[in-house]
Amino acid sequence: MSEEETTGEVLRQRQWVALRGGSLDVRGGKGICGRFARDLRTAIGKPHDCALLSEAGVPQELVDAVHRDFSDQGYVVHAHQMPEGACDLAQVERLDRVLAESGITADDAVVVLGGVETLSVASFACSSWCGGGSLVEVPLDAPSAIVAAPTPRALDLAGLPRVVSQEGSARFSIVDVGAFDVDPASEPMRHAFALMVAAAMCDGNKAFEHLWDAADDLVAGNEQVIMRAILDSVKSRGRVAASTAASTRQSIVYGTELARALAAVAGPAVPPSVLLADGMRFAARLAVATDALSVDDMFTQDELLERLGVGTTEVPVDPEELTRALRAERFRRSRRFMLALPRSLGRVRLAIVGDDLLAEHVAAWCASR
């Protein structure tokens, strides 16, 4: 279900997203930060207290606008900067202490402004604080807007990245395209484009077709189309993550296995958009080799990524090192070496990949750099 309202130059959109633990209300537009507390008041209930948390670097005028908005609606606002720390359980504990110091209860609101790591820590904390509270996420970049609410980043442990998984617990996500960079040539938007392709590849053929049809407007910087595509991708990720079928839920990692392995080998020289796009390209070629995917579908995915301006890795990579990193990435979370491979446009499933086939394709991929 979705609702749209256009008033002058400001587009306001609303999308309901089903999650396993409830539902997510996504509200988007341009210039809506500082003008959404009244809409949420009827959903949250009688105003009490509100913890307003922002990560370092958030423009003060944006924090002040949200502060005024909630104060005007009768909330007692406790503003804090997010504690410094990594995206781990220790950071969740630090946030819990901030909520305790502010006297926040399950009847109050927690509003968090930041990127995916900050929002993921807040999601983990708010899911258990006093039995669960009303978390309002305000993502400050396009990739975070797509990922954070429906599929929060897993938390780290010492020496073990992304091993403490969680389900989305946010009740609201406020996506304001006026609050972040939507330049199609920027790395954040190219990363968002790659995430859109990954979500569509997992969700269904219709989702892929809609993204294909929107590609030209996306790269032209049409903010209305960008907003709609972000909300559609949030819905797609939520639908995959909330599926009753484990095989569907597991497909959400599509493209990330090689992306994380490549990041470990190549370091920061390769941007996140390229890491994810190459992860999908690599998975599609493996799927063709196992007769799970048609060559035409592989090239269709390639063409969509190219139309959206998402490039490929140019840094030389050692194939043996990359293979070791890829195996380490998978075996950190499972006893079985399985990769998420597409079977068609809009359908991805985990599949066993033999040692010889993996070595052959990693070598070919590395040789093409």
In terms of domains, do 73 and 129 share one? Answer: yes
Q: What is the pLDDT of residue 28?
A: 94
Which residues make beta-bridge pairs with 338? 352
CATH code, domain carrying 108: 3.40.50.1970
Do 196 and 305 belong to one domain? yes
User: Alpha-carbon Rg of the chain, whole angstroms?
Assistant: 21
Last residue of a domain, one of 122, 148, 180: 180
- Which pLDDT score is estimated for 10? 46
pLDDT at site 152: 97
Q: Assess whether 10 and 114 both reside in one domain.
A: yes
Last residue of a domain, one of 151, 180, 209: 180
Predicted local confidence at residue 151, as pLDDT:
97
Shared domain for 205 and 161, answered yes or no, is no
The reported pLDDT for the residue numbered 2 is 47
Tell me, what's the pLDDT at 21? Answer: 80
Residue 176 and residue 202 in one domain? no
Residues sharing a CB contact under 8 Å with residue 148, sequence separation 6 or more, in sequence order: 115, 116, 119, 120, 123, 137, 139, 170, 173
Q: Are residues 17 and 152 in the same domain?
A: yes
d(CA 348, CA 250): 9
The Cα 225–Cα 203 span in angstroms is: 19
- Burial class of residue 4 (count of CB atoms within 10 Å of its CB; 0-12, 13-18, 19+): middle
Check whether residue 128 and residue 193 sit in a common domain.
no
Query: Is residue 199 domain-shared with residue 144, that is, in the same domain?
Result: no
Give the orientation angle of helix 89-101 with respect to helix 116-128, to 10 degrees.
60
Q: Note the pLDDT of residue 43.
A: 78
Please check whether residues 198 and 255 belong to one and the same domain: yes
The residue segments making up the domain with residue 137 are 2-180
What b/e sequence results for 346-355 when a residue is b if at least 16 CB atoms lie within 10 Å of its CB, and e otherwise?
A: bbbbbbebee
- Same domain (yes/no): 113, 224: no
Q: Are 39 and 70 contacting, i.e. CB atoms less than 8 angstroms apart?
A: no
Sign of CA dihedral 226, 18, 92, 111: positive
> In a structure prediction context, what are the per-residue pLDDT tens digits for the chain, which is 369 residues long?
444 444 435 478 999 999 988 899 999 999 999 999 998 887 787 889 999 999 999 999 999 999 999 999 999 999 999 988 999 999 999 999 999 999 999 999 999 999 999 999 999 999 999 998 899 999 999 999 999 999 999 999 988 999 999 999 999 999 999 999 999 999 999 999 999 999 999 999 999 999 999 999 999 999 999 999 999 999 999 999 999 999 999 999 999 999 999 999 999 999 999 999 999 999 999 999 999 999 999 999 999 999 999 999 999 999 999 999 999 999 988 999 999 999 999 999 999 999 999 999 999 999 998
Same domain, residue pair 65 and 154: yes
Q: Where residue 239 sits, what CATH number does that domain have?
A: 1.20.1090.10
Last residue of a domain, one of 128, 163, 180: 180
- Against a cut of 0.75, is the pTM above it? yes
pLDDT at 1: 45
Regarding whether 161 and 16 lie in a shared domain, the answer is yes
Total number of domains in the chain = 2
Long-range contacts of 293-299 (CB under 8 A, 24+ apart): 293/341, 293/342, 293/343, 293/344, 294/344, 297/342, 297/344, 297/345
